[in-house]
Amino acid sequence: MPAFSTYRLTFRSPLHIGERGVGLEVTRIHLPADTLFSAICSAWRQLYGVDALRRDVLDWFTDSDSLPFFLSSAFPFAGAVRFFPKPLARLSTVNVSDDDYKAFKRVRFVSEQLFTAIVGGGEITFTKEHCINGEVAWVTEDEKEQLKDWTDDATGDIVLWKTDVLPRVTLDRITSASQIWHFGEVMFAERAGLWFAVEFNRDHGDELKRKFEAVLRLLGDSGLGGERNAGRGLFNLGGPSDEPLPEVSNPNRFVTLSPVCPKDAAQAGALTREEAAYELMPRRGWVTSPEASNLRRKMVWMFAEGSVLMGNPQPHAGRLVNVKPDVCPHDVWRYGYAFPVGLP
């Protein structure tokens, strides 16, 4: 079984992670692995220089079979309770009554105990009463008791994070006419935040992990996501810890904890055969390097976290995608490797 290092991010300021929408009014609750990888590469360059970024990270991903590390996306946690994406497949071992079916469809995150039961094929029953945080997260009765300190006095709901949409005004440079726009952000409660796992390649030695953690500390003080210049996305780094992930014997499919971009048409066909269940999402965004910060990356479609894909979880499916705009002076890479948890 691979050894994982788990890191926890507890935010000191609101966070904005871009989501599909009309403008900036929508934010994600979680941090996709490709966004996290891009932030790590930018900070690696800032801390160690361009040559070190190529030597330590990018050249291994693009020109070698010995990849230095794999990332999961970052998902919510509160106290000792970690959350995972709800698998997108039809969950035949989950019993849902007709009255609770709409509530079950609204669930986006499941607790670690429930995720372990789902991937292990155990029989469980969904009840709306065990949903928290606006019914987007599902926990066990025991975990709901653990999380009671986060109960909102006004609503009686357990609230681990809140999203808000702020009005903003911009002025036309020529006419000085005002125009209103909106900005979305998520705020995590105290002792709550985001966790993610990393599988380091031991062949690259301890120096790689030391540099990786220094980069995370730099990101904590410079911020993740949008409006970093306004102080958003600052966090304290916790970990690493060696918390395991669920594991099953002889898996023939897997649920991915990170967005996946297949390396070719053959791999895409193999991943989506038979009982696969997946969601495709477009990934786009701005280039963040000093040389091309006014350019947009080329769009690429990827399988979303929670997708259930076919095949053995190892080796990791996916690739690094070059999304370089035509006029950009350098390559621009988007991370698209699976972070698999096996399913029977």
Q: Which of 291, 305, 81 is nearest to 193 (CA)?
A: 81
251 cis-preceded (ω within 30 degrees of 0): no
For residue 3, give the DSSP letter.
Answer: -
159, 172, 201, 277, 321 from 60: Cα distances, Å: 42, 46, 11, 31, 14
- The pLDDT assigned to 330 comes to 92
The C-alpha atoms of residue 68 and residue 45 are separated, in whole angstroms, by 16
Contact criterion met (CB below 8 Å) for 327 and 295: yes
- The pLDDT assigned to 184 comes to 86
Q: Which of 262, 332, 207, 283 is nearest to 17 (CA)?
A: 283
Q: What is the mean pLDDT of the chain?
A: 92
Secondary structure of residue 76 in the 3-state scheme: strand
Contact criterion met (CB below 8 Å) for 114 and 122: no
Q: Is the pLDDT of residue 271 over 80?
A: yes
Per-residue pLDDT tens for 130-167?
A: 999 999 999 999 999 999 999 999 999 999 999 988 88
Per-residue pLDDT tens for 38-49?
A: 999 999 999 999
- The pLDDT assigned to 21 comes to 56
- The pLDDT assigned to 223 comes to 95
Model-level pTM?
0.94
Residue 260 identity: V
Secondary structure of residue 149 in the 3-state scheme: helix
Q: Within its chain, how far is the Cα of 301 from the centroid?
A: 16
How large is the average pLDDT for residues 96-121?
94
